[in-house]
Amino acid sequence: MNFPILSSLILLPTIGALFIFFSKTNKTKYQSSKYVALFVSFANFLLSLYLWFLFDTTTYEFQFVENQEWIRGFINYKVGVDGISILFIILTTLIAPLCIISVNATIKKNLKGFLVAILLMETLMIGVFCSLDLVVFYLFFEGGLIPMFLIIGIWGGEKRVYSAFKFFLYTLLGSVLMLIAIISIYWMTGTTDVTELYEIGINAKYQNLLWLAFFSSFAVKTPMWPVHTWLPDAHVEAPTAGSVLLAAILLKMGGYAFIRFSLGLFPIASDYFVPLIYFLSLVAIVYTSLVALMQEDMKKLIAYSSVAHMGFVTLGIFTITQQGIEGSIFQMISHGLVSAALFLCVGVVYERMHTRLINRYGGIVTIMPKYAIVFMIFTLGAIGLPGTSGFVGEFLILIGTFKKSFLVATIASSGIIFAAAYMLWLYRRIIFGELIHEDLKKMIDLNQSEIFILWSLAIPILFIGFYPEPIINTVEISVNNLIEMFNSNLQINLAKNN
């Protein structure tokens, strides 16, 4: 089709952000700014659904490709989607309007600036999942640092400046190495076009170093143990909408990049470093689950659980099996929905009580029954109960892992038990028990906007849990082609060595 649908998806939030930024500031305009941001983000969501409707699931080739010369002889603005990337675009466009609706009471100052930052984040995150040029990908990938840094640093909690700089420095340091690797790839091959690099391949003797350079950036973004320590601090200090964007989308950029670039560009190095990934993933699953059990702050508990869940994702990706990679993609989509919902649930009670300490709650099922129901759905989704989206991803990942290593799969399976332990412990202490604290009796149940937001996430969690076919059908051929390309490159390299 001639209509540049991907560029429209990328640019529409920025156009909305510019409109809000240059509008005159007064009390009436503040509210209208929110309506503009909501309209733009919802329009983008509908456009992404239209993109999915037009998408051809019978081919592995990139679709809706746009390729324009940008810097002559060096960089082309090239974007396109396949079955892997399109799902992350839809996830991004779903989460953004829900974040905007949720800012009603949470943002007390400079609402316009906050809305601008969210819309710019949406542009940059969509750009990451569309990019088919390494330099363009790098610009979008790192560009997301700036609005998120501002969201945490300006609208965060008491230690917001420390957390914002820690987030910025962790992610920036790893990315410097990736930039050097991208320049090296251009020097060796004369191109940064991803599809061309897939075809011509990268010299085997350089792949290990280049893989490590990319890994240094992706591991921080995912985040993998031991470079995960920025995440709990960032989550605790970020406003609710910032935590939702961080958990639902930003963490998925690292997992997506592992699939698209680590496996796609460096198959020999990826195969070589599989034991390293297995080790780091298992430590993340077991260690951070145990740490989550010790937390007294709701946000910190959910943040550490995110590290454990992303450990499953990296484990599944590097099984390099159909079930493992499909399960990882499914798990990322599921975690995006579930973690967003859990942070929003924390935001609901925090706005009423202004504390996230677990021991300050208890017995609120009697005064907030609607809240107790949706929180239960999200808790079961985080555990991976059959019938929720969390089960499908973890089940596929474990199948793929069992094919590769019985021991690794057995250790990873313990993560499901730990998840049940810390999530049910969290739910019991907040929802059940005696209503000891008198001030809790003043709390009111979910209002209309909170019901809309939370059920907008609960419905897809349950739907794809019972009927995962739309997700699996979308990714199947693209994943199969990736694995075939990976195995073919390994065989070619093996033949050369012999």
- Domain positions in the chain are 273-467
Which residues, in sequence order, are bridge partners of residue 63?
Answer: 81
67 forms beta bridges with 78
Both tokens of 44, joined, read: 């983008």
Q: Which residues of 146-165 are buried (b: 16+ CB within 10 A; e: fewer)?
A: ebbbbbbbbbbeeebeebbe
Residue 270, classified by CB atoms within 10 Å of its CB into exposed (0-12), middle (13-18) or buried (19+), is: buried
Report the chain's mean pLDDT, rounded to a whole number: 87
Beta-carbon contacts of residue 192 (< 8 Å; ≥ 6 apart): 74, 75, 133, 134, 135, 182, 185, 186
Average pLDDT over residues 130-139: 91
**pLDDT tens, residue by residue, 40-52:** 999 999 999 999 9
Question: Does residue 97 have a cis bond before it (omega within 30 degrees)?
Answer: no
Nearest to 60 by CA among 497, 485, 498: 485
Tokens of 70: 């940008």
Backbone angles phi, psi at 62, to 5 degrees: -70, 140
- State if pTM tops 0.85: yes
Look at 151-155, 288-292, 424-428 and tell me which has the smallest mean pLDDT.
151-155
Please compute the mean of the pLDDT values over residues 280-295 and round it to a whole number.
Answer: 91
Q: What pLDDT, on a 0 to 100 scale, did the predictor assign at position 47? A: 94
Residue 11 has pLDDT above 90, yes or no: yes
Report the pLDDT value the prediction gives residue 315, as an integer from 0 to 100. Answer: 93
- Cis peptide preceding 226, ω within 30 of 0: yes
* Per-residue model confidence as pLDDT tens digits over 289-318: 999 888 888 888 998 998 999 999 999 999
Highest mean pLDDT among 160-164, 169-173, 466-470: 466-470
- Dist CA 74 CA 202 (whole Å): 18
For residues 71-99, give the mean pLDDT: 88
Residues 91, 97, 99: CA angle, nearest 5 degrees: 95
pLDDT of residue 154: 85
Instruction: Report d(CA 305, CA 130) in Å as an integer.
Output: 28
Mean pLDDT, range 122-145, rounded to an integer: 91
Residue 171 pLDDT > 60 = yes
What are the C-alpha distances in Å from 411 to residues 287, 402, 405, 418?
A: 12, 11, 10, 11
pLDDT at 229: 84
Q: Give percent of the chain with pLDDT exceeding 70.
A: 96
Average pLDDT over residues 124-134: 92
Q: 318 with 309: CB under 8 angstroms?
A: no
216-234 pLDDT, tens digit per residue, is: 889 988 888 888 888 888 8
The stretch 333-353 carries a mean pLDDT of 90
Alpha-carbon 272 to chain mean position: 26
